[in-house]
Amino acid sequence: MEKRKELEFIYRRRSVRKFLETPVPDEIVNMLIDAAIHAPSGKNAQNWHFVVVRNRQMIADMATLVEKKHEILLPFIADEQKKNDFKKSVAYHTVFRNAPAVVLVFAGPYPVPADDMVPGSGLTQSEIESLRQAKPGIQNVAAALQNLHLAAAALGYGTCWMTGPNYAGREIAQMVGFQKEGYVMAALTPLGIPAGGGGSPARKPLTEILTVVD
Ligand SMILES: Cc1cc2nc3c(=O)[nH]c(=O)nc-3n(C[C@H](O)[C@H](O)[C@H](O)COP(=O)(O)O)c2cc1C
């Protein structure tokens, strides 16, 4: 399919997992976070918070923290195949280790009508849970994060959306000293100048993922 020139900013983004040592200046950090917060959010709730870590030792320590938590969690997976998959995934959860900056993205509370529905008063707990499934609060944060990724790519910076390290989210928040009532780590991204090229993996064809109803 022909790629439109006007959409170059979309196709430029790819997941970057290797970075140059070049530090990320304040100006870039501020531009990226400003781009992020111009995302739409339900009720304009802006239920996000960003922590930018540029302390290289702390970034390495965060990766070690993820490895330690991974080791703690591993024995709790009973299925051998799944355990093996999780074991291998730790490399994929620590690719931020050598980045000059890491952006931690926290998601705050976002009330939904399901919160006000009383189980037993006509609706079952599972019906109430199904009303929560689309998670608009997380959609707000994802919109902001996607803005950040696209803006970074447009400015020549590399990022990688990562939720793998989330199982160590509480420990990471504690390490960087971030505390805000009801906020949890939703994702993180390394940030820096890409070291080398590389492309995105292939996408499913539109015939598989698009339904048009006329
Ligand atoms: C919600 C989400 C979580 C992801 N988690 C990780 C991760 O933990 N580690 C990683 O290396 N990549 C992670 N990725 C990156 C994907 O592997 C990547 O986006 C996908 O393979 C498509 O490649 P591209 O981003 O280069 O287009 C994640 C992406 C998303 C959207």
Instruction: Report the predicted TM-score, pTM, of the whole model to 2 decimal places.
Output: 0.95
Q: 168 CB under 6 A from ligand 1? A: no
Tokens of 75: 């024995």
What's the confidence (pLDDT) of residue 115? 86
What's the confidence (pLDDT) of residue 117? 87
Query: Is residue 214 included in any domain, yes or no?
Result: no
Nearest CA to ligand 1 atom 18: 15
Q: 201 CB under 6 A from ligand 1? A: yes
What's the confidence (pLDDT) of residue 197? 79
Helix (H) or strand (E) holding 51: strand 48-53
- 185 vs 178: CA distance, rounded Å: 10
Query: How does pLDDT run along the chain (214 residues), one tens digit per residue?
Result: 677 899 999 999 999 999 999 999 999 999 999 999 999 999 999 999 999 999 999 999 999 999 999 999 999 999 999 999 999 999 999 999 999 999 999 999 998 888 888 878 888 989 988 988 889 999 999 999 999 999 999 999 999 999 999 999 999 999 999 999 999 999 999 999 999 878 899 999 999 999 999 9
Q: 93 CB under 6 A from ligand 1? A: yes
What's the confidence (pLDDT) of residue 10? 95
CB 99 within 8 A of CB 158: no
What's the confidence (pLDDT) of residue 76? 97
Q: What angle do CA 41, 150, 172 make, to 5 degrees?
A: 70
Please choose from 162, 166, 185, 200 the residue to mutate so as to test ligand 1's pocket, defined by most ligand atoms within 8 A of CB: 162
What's the confidence (pLDDT) of residue 138? 97
* Dihedral (CA of 171, 176, 181, 187) sign: negative
Span from the CA of 127 to the centroid of ligand 1 (angstroms): 31
- Closest C-alpha among 101, 70, 99 to residue 166: 70
* Enclosing domain of residue 91: 5-209
Span from the CA of 46 to the centroid of ligand 1 (angstroms): 24
In the chain, the N- to C-terminal Cα span, in Å, equals 22
Cβ density class 173-210: b for 16+ within 10 Å, e for less: beebebeeeebebbbbbbbbbbeeeeeeeeeeeeeeee
What's the confidence (pLDDT) of residue 2? 74
Domain count, the chain: 1
- 109 vs 88: CA distance, rounded Å: 33
Q: 62 CB under 6 A from ligand 1? A: no
- Closest C-alpha among 90, 61, 35, 68 to residue 177: 61
Query: Is residue 129 included in any domain, yes or no?
Result: yes
Query: Is residue 146 included in any domain, yes or no?
Result: yes
Query: Is residue 186 included in any domain, yes or no?
Result: yes
Which CATH number fits the domain that encloses residue 57? Answer: 3.40.109.10
What atom in ligand 1 is closest to the CA of residue 164?
A: 8
Q: 160 CB under 6 A from ligand 1? A: yes
Nearest CA to ligand 1 atom 30: 161
Query: Is residue 165 included in any domain, yes or no?
Result: yes
What atom in ligand 1 is closest to the CA of residue 165?
A: 8
Query: Is residue 170 included in any domain, yes or no?
Result: yes
